[in-house]
Amino acid sequence: MTASRPETTAEELRGAGLRVTAARVALLDAVREGDHLGVEALATGVRARVGHISLQAVYEALHALTAAGLVRRLEPPGSPALFEGRVGDNHHHLVCRSCGVVADVDCAVGHAPCLTASDDHGFAVDEAEVLYWGLCPRCSTARTAHSSAQ
């Protein structure tokens, strides 16, 4: 019995019908290694691996990766778009109101039940997006310390 080897990034791109380029490989790797990163941070990561790449090329590649289902784009209100490599499940996000850090959280009611809207108005729902807002532990502790000092 032969153990199956994990797909390489290049194989994933080909499997999704995308042309394999050094920049796309570096970008997909940067998204997966990062933690809800914005375009500027991703561009910096790609440049560190492959040299110069324009911001426009990063936007175009992110669009292609998102459309192919290899990357997920999230847009917390009032923030620039962020990208993550966790795809294929219906997870949600926690967002700190103070520092903007984002953390993943699994669906509150199980695998797919949270896709059932109380009234779908005839829509064919295929994704639910929930953002929980609050203070991360670091900001909460800092706020408590600041309040105690006054």
Same structural domain, 76 and 114 = no
Same structural domain, 26 and 75 = yes
Per-residue pLDDT of 5-59, as tens digits, reads: 668 999 999 999 999 999 999 999 999 999 899 999 999 999 999 999 999 999 9
As annotated, the binding site includes 96, 99, 136, 139
Rounded Cα distance, 24 and 14, in Å: 11
Burial class (CB in 10 A: 0-12, 13-18, 19+), 141: exposed
Same structural domain, 23 and 83 = yes
Same structural domain, 65 and 115 = no
Which pair of tokens denotes residue 12? 């994933």
Same structural domain, 34 and 9 = yes
Which pair of tokens denotes residue 93? 């996000």
Per-residue pLDDT of 91-138, as tens digits, reads: 889 999 999 899 998 876 655 556 677 788 888 877 778 888 999 999
Nearest to 62 by CA among 76, 80, 89, 48: 80
**pLDDT value of residue 146:** 65
CATH code, domain carrying 107: 3.30.1490.190
CATH code, domain carrying 73: 1.10.10.10
Same structural domain, 129 and 70 = no
Same structural domain, 72 and 32 = yes
Same structural domain, 104 and 140 = yes
As annotated, the binding site for Zn(2+) includes 96, 99, 136, 139
Domain boundary among 40, 61, 88: 88
Rounded Cα distance, 74 and 109, in Å: 21
Which pair of tokens denotes residue 82? 């962020």
Domain that holds residue 71: 1-88
Specify the residue for token string 């375009």: 39
Rounded to the nearest 5°, which phi and psi values hold at 78?
80, 5
